[in-house]
Amino acid sequence: MSTSLPDSFDLLEATVADVRAAVADGRVTAEALVDRYLARIDAYDDLNAILTVNDDARRRARRLDERFESDGFVGPLHGVPVVVKDNHDTHDMPTTAGSVALAESTPSRDAFVVEQLRDAGCVVVAKANLQELSFGVDTISSLGGATRNAYDLERRPAGSSGGTAAAVAANLAVVGTGTDTCSSVRSPPAFNDLVGVRPTRGLVSRTGIVPLSETQDTPGPIARTVADAARLLEVVAGYDPADPVTARGADQIPEDGYVAHLDDAGLEGARIGVARQFFGLRNEEHASAADAEAVTAVVEDAIEAMAAAGATIVDPVEVVDGDRLASARVLQYEFARDFDDYLSELGDATPLDSLADLVDTGTIAPSIESRMEAAGILEMDTGSLDENVGYLRRLRRRGRLRETTLSRLAEHDLDAVLYPPSTVPPVEIPDHQPFEEMNCELSAHTGLPAIVVPAGFTDDGLPVGVELLGRAFAEPRLFELASAFERATDNRRPPDRFGALD
């Protein structure tokens, strides 16, 4: 330990508010806290959640302690250890997207959200493993290997933000960030008994994020509590001139922020629609019907808990046509174009010029490379997308899907629609988590916000999440609903494997 203060702060399951209170009354310093989280990262490396530890974390914490002594708190996240997904640019660590080919790529600036986090006083202690290039839902990378589920090391954590989720679940940081193209801040939290938020498109900047799909990508919070997710979103949301889409959300952030909308009574009088079309096994080659039934049983209990907390349950609600939802996928069109644009912005920070160059290195994880080949990613003529009828048709279809979803919410006077983020639990390694069983596309293709909260556990002890999707920029209402559900159920419990260090 680098401080003589007594080790009196219990960091297991510690929240942002806990850290702030402990710093304020002298029970812990930022430096002591960082030391202890770094010790946990070192002790629990069998989780395989962390790619890079920040060598500057202790110095940063020491400077925050000095600032606190002279001026008080730097910001709302003063001294809070944070882990960020390693597709967020950081000026002081490589940004690899999990790829060996990018292992030495260190951008000259931070991603917008990382800059916002640091301005709020946090300490980025490490960068987390991810599905390489964020392309998939396993969390396997050529640089970091396979991340394991914090509740069963023989199972997947979902992806692509599985490293962040596993790390936060195991208390390797207080909170973390991920990115979501089509599940990645929702299914990993669901599989690791956490809270995840996919914000409305345009609420949070994507500047400095290694892209997968420009029209779907968004950063989002991953936390152990709804309150911490709200605090994180409050810090990272905002207008960024370098990302024009954030102009949509510039006037949509509530003046009192998101934390003010935490409400123990938030389900009283709420109307929740149950989207039964997203329940149940879709393909028996992926898992058994019993696996899907185990998830459904936990979500049914969550629905009953919401009703007991005062919500009116509208069951069922048919939201959109499933085939039309699936037919609005555009990732295969945008991936190479957007990734190549990102590389060009890096300049001398990387020797690569294109996604094709990266694949040609022969280093990419085999399961990711095979998925890219099957999707025809490198066969796409990205220079003619403005004239590609198939691509433009899919973008128009998204607009109609969004209108249809909003009309269902209005028609039934709903605050949110509810469904499981995945129809099946985490699969055993080396099997791959089936994307077809993920319910990620409704939020991703409409740009509407969604929050995942812990719903409980299967009889096998595997976490299950429940997802609530709401109207555009209705994050305050989603936080009201989620905080009330959290309060009524208290479903979060830490994994047994990652207890206090001796």
CA 61/CA 30 separation, integer angstroms: 5
Instruction: Mark whether 127 is an active-site residue.
Output: no
Q: Which candidate in 99, 160, 161, 483 is catalytic?
A: 160
Query: Which entry of 184, 213, 422, 483 is annotated as an active-site residue?
Result: 184
Strand partners of residue 438 = 422
Interaxial angle between packed helices 30-43 and 16-24, expressed in degrees from 0 to 180 and rounded to the nearest 10: 140
Nearest to 420 by CA among 314, 300, 290, 266: 300
Which amino acid appears at position 41 of this protein?
A: I
What are the structure tokens assigned to 501, written together? 């260090």
Q: Which two tokens stand for residue 486?
A: 């959290």
- Cα-based distances in Å from 43 to 46, 107, 161, 310: 8, 29, 21, 44
C-alpha distances (whole Å) from 207 to each of 56, 454, 480 are: 23, 30, 29
> Closest Cα to residue 93, out of 51, 137, 132?
51
Are 335 and 214 in contact by the 8 Å Cβ rule? The answer is no
Q: Confirm whether 344 is a catalytic residue.
A: no
Containing 313, the helix (H) or strand (E) segment is strand 312-314
Per-residue CA distances from 139 to 48, 148, 224, 432 (Å): 10, 8, 20, 10
Q: Map tokens 């934390």 to a residue.
A: 259
452 φ, ψ to 5°?
A: -110, 135
- 221 membership: H or E segment, kind and range: strand 218-223
Instruction: Indicate if 422 belongs to the active site.
Output: no
**Whether the Cβ atoms of residue 113 and residue 120 lie closer than 8 Å to each other:** no
Burial of 213 from C-beta contacts in 10 A (0-12 / 13-18 / 19+): buried
Show which residues are catalytic: 85, 160, 184
